[in-house]
Amino acid sequence: MSLSFKLCPHLIRSKMNGGKKTVLVTGAAGNIGSYFAEHAGHKYELRLLVKDESDAEKIRTFGRVALCDITNLEQLKPHFIGLDTVLHLAANPSPNSTWESVRDLNIGGTYNVFAAAKEASVRRVVYASSIHAVSGYPTDMQVKTSDPVNPGDLYGVSKCFGEALARYMAEQEGLSSICLRIGAFQPLENAKKPDSLKMLDAWVSPRDLQQLIEKCIDDDRLQFAIFNGLSNNRFKRLDISDARELLSYAPQDDLSHENPQLSRIQIDQPGHNLRDLGQKSGLREDISSSAIGKSAL
């Protein structure tokens, strides 16, 4: 099975502007983009791309805002000069998206972003993929980053294209690229609502995704990677162990703790292995209890 990441043979040197990395965000007025801009403006020099003037006002205080249609490559190119990283979020995010929509914005626009980044010698593109790239798998399967793509809709198909393009650009064109399969991005107040049960296994909180995105920007070892972007939910549709290991991702939130219906239920299960200290073992009868405790940590 092929690895879902590739290390660069040397450290990837960041491009600093006055001591900060310059990061361009497409789709900067969206839910993820606006949260990122609000919480990352102190750390990075931000360029925020939006399509319409009406989208600019709510994010203008977080960075330099520019109007741009990502489906127009020539219009896009000047905005990429002098960048360290591109965070590519712009897309039609609806699972009900028509082919024309995903073709022009999600596929054509994504190609343009990578092409402009390559021409401008950008260090890295962080690409917002989606859980929909693998939503075709049965719901009782935990999907690993190394599992083949299996989209459940045309929106997911467009994200599979982006992942394939990212890998091509990283391994054949030398543009470091990281793909994030983002789950159900919702604020804490939505996680507390009764109907949040539908995202029990897929929720990612704003602060957890913010942490993951920043770690992707700051990493200097990865040439390419796919990471699953979920919070530390008790039940995880996607396996996040790669992000934990390679990026030291440490999510803080768990939907089962936030939803009142779940927080009242004891859902801890027996370990079914020797980490369950209540389980009998011939070995445990022959060694001291202190040694058992240390082995279980």
Average pLDDT value for residue range 63-70 = 96
- Give domain status of residue 278, yes or no: no
**Looking at the predicted structure, is the pLDDT value of residue 268 above 60?**
no
Tokens encoding 120: 């401008």
Pair type for strands 203-204 and 184-185: parallel
Q: Choose among 194, 200, 197, 263: nearest CA to 237.
A: 200
Pair type for strands 45-50 and 64-67: parallel
Record the pTM.
0.89
- Give domain status of residue 270, yes or no: no
Distance CA 147, CA 136 (A): 12
Distance CA 201, CA 237 (A): 5
If one counts the domains in the chain, the total is 1
pLDDT tens digits for range 143-194: 999 999 999 999 999 999 999 999 999 999 999 999 999 999 999 899 888 8
- Give domain status of residue 280, yes or no: no
- Give domain status of residue 289, yes or no: no
> Do 125 and 86 touch, CB atoms closer than 8 A?
yes
- Give domain status of residue 281, yes or no: no
CATH of the domain at 111: 3.40.50.720
Distance CA 82, CA 178 (A): 20
- Give domain status of residue 288, yes or no: no
CA torsion, ordered 15, 18, 21, 26, to nearest 10 deg: -110
High-pLDDT (> 70) share of the chain, %: 88
- Give domain status of residue 283, yes or no: no
pLDDT tens digits for range 88-146: 999 999 999 999 989 999 999 999 999 999 999 999 999 999 999 999 999 999 999 99
- Give domain status of residue 293, yes or no: no
Q: Which residue range forms the structural domain that includes residue 238?
A: 5-265
214 — phi, psi (to 5°)?
Answer: -65, -40
Tokens encoding 228: 């699953």
What is the chain's percent helix, strand, coil content, to nearest 5?
Answer: 40, 20, 40
